Chains A and B, each alone.
Chain A
Amino acid sequence: MLLTLLAKDLRRAWRNPLPWLINLLIPLCITALIGLAFGGKSDGGALGRIRFAVVDEDDSVLTQFLRGAVNQGDGAKHLEPVFLDREAALREINDNKLAAVLIIPTNFTRGYFTGSQRVSLELIKNPAQSIHPAVLEELLGAVVTGLNAIARNFQSEFPEWQAVFEGKGDYKKVSQLIERAGDKLKAAKPYLNPPLVSYTKEVRVEKPPGTNTTRAGSKASKPKSGPDSSLFGYLLLGMSAMFLLFIASNGMSDLHRELHNGTLERYHTLHERLLSFIAGKMVFTMVLLLAGSAVMLGGGAVIFRIHWQQPLALAVLTLGYAGFAAGLMAALAAAMTDERAANVLNNLVGMGLGLAGGCLFPPQQLPAFLGKHVCPLLPTYWFVETVRNLEFGGATAPWLLAALKLAGLSALLLALASFLFRRRFKAGLRA
């Protein structure tokens, strides 16, 4: 019977595809929007290297030194500077090939060392990107702060430094300058090191009972091949979980239409129990939800190059979550007599479960009571947190247990929806 009911709903959806296409297109649009908001493609789901241009119109030893610095050490891992003239750089930024253009103006070095005039660096950000230009702006802010700090502390020696950078100093003078600078830095050492505030990043590791939590960086506890951390994956997963609730709401609101058209009543004249009918609608909604999940998570994987580490666990958990979402919306449809009021309630419940379940914010960021006592009780949390732990937490997670919990809850909600509908009929739903 379930197959007959499912075939009927799929046929109806096929004949009137617009509402269902919108259901599937919304997550696709959301995924694309997130992609656009975060600057399009990224490598491995992380921020990737930031490609930007440096236009060195000053072309002094200092600016050559700065240019060299961004290509060194950790900077080279995250930054990909290209050195172009202004015209070429502007052309590339127009073609969206660069995150930003940094322009070092003519006489920058001279102005900086003499203090004769206020000097400035120019940063042209790519308006088509958001994260990468913002990161560069922050970095440039740090560089400017550093240059200001140097200017304040070494101002008396700037004429000599200027001579050095202009190639007029001899080696003796250079060595004396370096020695004096070293002395100044040594005096500042107690203020800089050790830092007064620091942080240690902890990685949650599934631990056998009786063992202590281990920290990242310790050789013994480091996972052999931990998954990449991914901002996009993290966000996409939470947003998908919330949007699946909204899609479920749309899918199950078909029950209101069945009521309105009298077809649910007609079914009830043939069958005393409504369980099969509601289950059929749930299966139909789950098909929509799984298609939506494939669009969001699969599309996200393509756009953000996220590599889902555990596809089987993700698929099983998504199935369980789809069952929960459909069951929840079936129960709400059964409880609410008015379709409009039901839609409003469904959206509120979806938002509430999404926010309190840690879909948009990490549960640790939620208010203490919510994060500690409410969040772990919510099915959205079971799904999102389990998948996040599996995919990005570098830890194994009891995904099968979470999937079973979600499936059990789905069955309970289905029974509740069936009971509520029968009760409504007996109380005179349409009399």
Chain B
Amino acid sequence: MSLLEVQRLSKAFGAVHALDAVSFEVQAGELYGLLGPNGAGKTTTISIISGLLKPDAGEVAVAGRLFWSDPQRAKRNMGVVPQEVAIYLELSGRENLEFWGRMAGLSSGEAKTRAAELLEALALTDRAKDSVKTYSGGMKRRINLGCALLHRPQLLLLDEPTVGIDPQARLNILEFIRGLRSSGTAILYTTHYLEEAETLCDRIGIIDRGRLLAEGTLAQLQERLGGDRVFVLEADLKNASPGAWSGFHERFRVIQKSDRQLVVAAIGDGDPSACLKTLLALPVRVENVTLKRPSLNDVFLQLTGRDLRE
């Protein structure tokens, strides 16, 4: 069942097109990653889905019903974890959870019980009474996440929930999110970290400059580059022109070319050693050739001509 359907969503701020006809779906128990650099339109997408922004065009449906037909009902079904730590630093972790539970419509008793459960799940029980301002960055992020879960939402929107925290804290949060997925929660997860998208998400949508350029499972996206073979050539390529090399374009797709590096994907099921031979025979002085599995960054490179890490 599709818990979130986004249809041709568009939004402009003056002359800037933040979103341009973005469409995707998230199923129950699915973790959908929206991968893109800063300014790609990820936060705008989440803001529209959560009702903070109104789109210029397009529709959002939550649990089968259009968002704007009954926004309050849609909001009851979702939990939103904003990119910034949107909690009260003067209050303790428990008080924050209880407060947001009450705001989500729980009774005082329910909020207390649920807060205790979440503190346990987030491994924060021993610091529950401490003021949040004394927490580490990772602990604040965990409370920030927990505050969206009090009312057990069917759909969870996570806007870069691991920004600015150490690797161990990130692993803890990612593990917690995997647990939520296995409990049947539909999750929309925005990130600009390739590794998170690759290791965490069931399906990934690649977004850049407001446009959803590609989507699918990691394997499907890798397939776009020619299965599991990408070659990286290091050479003096200043005056090289791959278009002029005889037969090159029949066997390889150029992903990226710079003065020092050429990244290509093999077309078809050719033997890797044969591909390597062809590359070494090119009319340039090759210094090094590497064979690797295509990453999401390679997909992003192919789609945008830019490195996601730039």
Contact = CB atoms under 8 A, between A and B. Distances in A.
**Are the chains A and B members of one assembly?**
yes
A263 B13 contact: no
B248 interface: no
B233 interface: no
Interface stretch (A10-18, A34-42, A294-302, A352-360): A10-18
Contacts of A431: 11, 13, 18, 43-44, 47, 52-53
Interface string B110-154: 000000000000000000000100000000000000010000000
A59 interface: no
B52 A270 contact: no
B179 to A, nearest CB: 22
Contacts of B53: 425-426, 428, 431
B198 to A, nearest CB: 28
A16 B147 CA distance: 22
Contacts of B11: 431
A12 B75 contact: no
Contacts of A268: 51-52
A425 B84 CA distance: 17
Contacts of B95: 8, 11
11 contacts: A8-B91, A11-B95, A261-B86, A263-B88, A266-B82, A266-B100, A270-B75, A425-B53, A426-B54, A431-B13, A431-B53
Nearest to B13: A428
A431 B54 CA distance: 11
A426 B11 CA distance: 11
A265 B86 contact: yes
A176 interface: no
B272 interface: no
Interface of A: 1, 4, 8, 11-12, 15-16, 261-263, 265-272, 425-426, 428-431
Nearest to B54: A426
Nearest to B14: A428
A429 B103 CA distance: 22
Contacts of A12: 88, 90-91
Interface of A, secondary structure class, is helix
Given A8-B88, A263-B88, A265-B52, A272 B82 contact: no
Contact of A1 (B78, B80, B88, B103): B103
B239 interface: no
Contacts of B190: none
Most chain A beta carbons < 10 A, residue from B52, B87, B91: B52
A429 B51 CA distance: 12
Contact of A267 (B84, B89, B103): B103
A45 to B, nearest CB: 41
Contacts of B102: 1, 4
Contacts of B103: 1, 4, 267, 270-271
Interface of B: 11, 13, 18, 43-44, 47, 50-54, 71-72, 75, 78, 80, 82, 84-91, 95, 99-100, 102-104, 131, 147
Given A272-B51, A272-B72, A431-B53, A266 B44 contact: no
A274 to B, nearest CB: 11
B88 A270 contact: no
A108 to B, nearest CB: 70
Contacts of A266: 80, 82, 86, 100, 147
A326 to B, nearest CB: 20
Nearest to B108: A4
Contacts, number: 78
Contacts of A429: 52
A271 B75 contact: yes
A269 B52 contact: yes
A12 B88 CA distance: 8
Given A11-B91, A12-B91, A270 B104 contact: yes
A261 B84 contact: yes
A263 B44 contact: no
Contacts of A263: 86-88
Contacts of A16: 90
Given A4-B103, A271-B103, A262 B75 contact: no
A15 B131 contact: yes
Contact of B80 (A4, A15, A269): A269
A253 to B, nearest CB: 16
Given A265-B52, A268-B51, A429-B52, 10 more contacts: A15-B91, A15-B131, A261-B89, A263-B87, A269-B78, A271-B75, A272-B72, A426-B53, A431-B44, A431-B53
A4 B86 CA distance: 18
Given A261-B86, A431-B43, A269 B99 contact: no
A263 B54 CA distance: 19
B16 to A, nearest CB: 10
A422 to B, nearest CB: 10
A65 B95 CA distance: 78
A8 B18 CA distance: 36
A65 to B, nearest CB: 72
Nearest to A263: B86
B99 A4 contact: yes
Contacts of A15: 90-91, 131
A431 B12 CA distance: 11
B260 to A, nearest CB: 38
Given A4-B102, A431-B13, A269 B51 contact: yes
Contacts of A428: 13, 47, 53
Given A4-B103, A267-B103, A272-B71, A262 B84 contact: yes
B110 to A, nearest CB: 13
A425 B44 CA distance: 12
B174 to A, nearest CB: 22
A8 B80 contact: no
Contacts of B131: 15
A4 B107 CA distance: 11
A142 to B, nearest CB: 61
A382 B249 CA distance: 84
